[in-house]
Amino acid sequence: MSNRMEYVTLGRTGIRVSVAGLGCGGFSRLGLGTGKSETEAVALVREAMDLGINLLDTAAVYGTEGVVGQAIKTVPRDSVVIATKAWIPRREGRSAAERAVASLDNSLRQLGTDYIDIFQLHGVSPGGYGQAIEIIAPALLKEREKGKLRHLGVTETGSSDPDHAMVGRAVEDGIWDVVMVAFHMMHQNARTKVFPGTMANRVGTLLMFAVRNIFSRPERLAAALRELTASRQLPRWLADAPNPLGFLIHKDGASTVTEAAYRFVRHEPGVDVVLFGTGDREHLRTNIASLLAPPLPLADRQTLTKLFGHLVGVGLDPPYSMPGFSSA
Ligand SMILES: NC(=O)c1ccc[n+]([C@@H]2O[C@H](COP(=O)([O-])OP(=O)(O)OC[C@H]3O[C@@H](n4cnc5c(N)ncnc54)[C@H](OP(=O)(O)O)[C@@H]3O)[C@@H](O)[C@H]2O)c1
């Protein structure tokens, strides 16, 4: 299996990006969320770049922009694609524009750079989309003219918008060059609700929630299966099986559930970059290898779609570490 990074064009941005992107939020926050030091986090980002990852996704609320800023000091600025985000409360009104611009300026300071490649509005709900497009986007487009950012993007909320209503509108509006979308083995509806629109409009996609807790912690998967069988959304045997996703693990398939989860999303038509979050060097390497591995065998993909294709909103756990903030 070759571990040479692969690159794709991120929709109409035209930017060449690695198919694996380092997520600097989630539960790991590059390790800061699991007790590691800033020095270790900086080393992890540098190792990711050495392994060919050129897209780093952070956000003002993650508290990792400073780490990313330190890590990129040693590489040419144009060798790395920085995506960051501003979170603006939904009913902010007119001051939403000022707040977004202040967040952009602060991100530039934290990251120690004079431009952001992809500046995203963070966790925009369907109800908050009007504010995003009418008030915030015009102000950010002016900042783009000043050279502070190259492309605008928007990320969905995950758990409170499992049908992708916000992104469904955003891909048609011509403002957002990139969208961040939730898609995984047990939440597959972006296949019909998002990717046809992103591909038709050449909007770049960053994939989130490929693994999260549900495919990295067996007890979280077991709890989800218990709930889904109790509500009759899944057959009972799945909750009773000692290794419910064991059918994915075999000689010609994946070697772990986590590997299967990354391979499943990576080859979906319409997916450009798969983000993964980690603070663990071993996971960094194995996840890159998973994302560069071939698609899961057809029979396994068919089983996943037959079993789970109808599920919506499973496993989109919000972070615990950021009180009051519902999306990371
Ligand atoms: N609305 C939004 O804007 C939003 C929402 C969610 C996510 N995101 C973005 O998407 C990125 C990815 O999301 P995510 O952080 O939840 O990533 P993920 O890749 O779906 O899940 C990562 C979780 O699985 C663990 N893990 C990773 N690799 C593993 C492996 N090989 N074996 C076992 N466990 C493994 C990680 O812990 P370890 O540290 O132990 O590896 C972490 O807890 C975020 O960092 C963020 O940039 C954005």
Give, for all 328 residues of the chain, the pLDDT tens digit.
Answer: 567 999 999 999 999 999 999 999 999 999 999 999 999 999 999 999 999 999 999 999 999 999 999 999 999 999 999 999 999 998 888 899 999 999 999 999 999 999 999 999 999 999 999 999 999 999 999 999 999 999 999 999 999 999 999 999 999 999 999 999 999 999 999 999 999 999 999 999 999 999 999 999 999 999 999 999 999 999 999 999 999 999 999 999 999 999 999 999 999 999 999 999 999 999 999 999 999 999 999 999 999 999 999 999 999 998 765 445 556 6
- Decide: 154 and 327 in contact? Cβ < 8 Å: no
Q: Is the pTM of this model over 0.85?
A: yes
Q: Determine which residue's CA is closest to atom 37 belonging to ligand 1.
A: 278
Locate 129 and state its tokens: 């989309």
Which residue type does 314 have?
A: V
Ligand 1 atom, smallest distance to 327 CA: 1
Residues that are catalytic:
62
- Decide: 30 and 41 in contact? Cβ < 8 Å: yes
Ligand 1: residue of 263, 283, 322 to mutate (most ligand atoms within 8 A of CB) is 283
Q: Which residues pair with 84 in a beta bridge?
A: 119
Pairwise CA distance, residues 12 & 26, whole Å? 27
User: How far away, in angstroms, is 29 Cα from ligand 1 center?
Assistant: 8
Ligand 1 atom, smallest distance to 157 CA: 1
Q: Identify which of 111, 123, 43, 106 has the alpha carbon closest to the alpha carbon of residue 83.
A: 111
Pairwise CA distance, residues 192 & 211, whole Å? 20
Ligand 1: residue of 58, 121, 180, 211 to mutate (most ligand atoms within 8 A of CB) is 211
H/E stretch holding 119 reads strand 116-124
Residues 6+ apart with CB under 8 A from 195: 205, 268, 269, 270, 271
User: How far away, in angstroms, is 147 Cα from ligand 1 center?
Assistant: 31
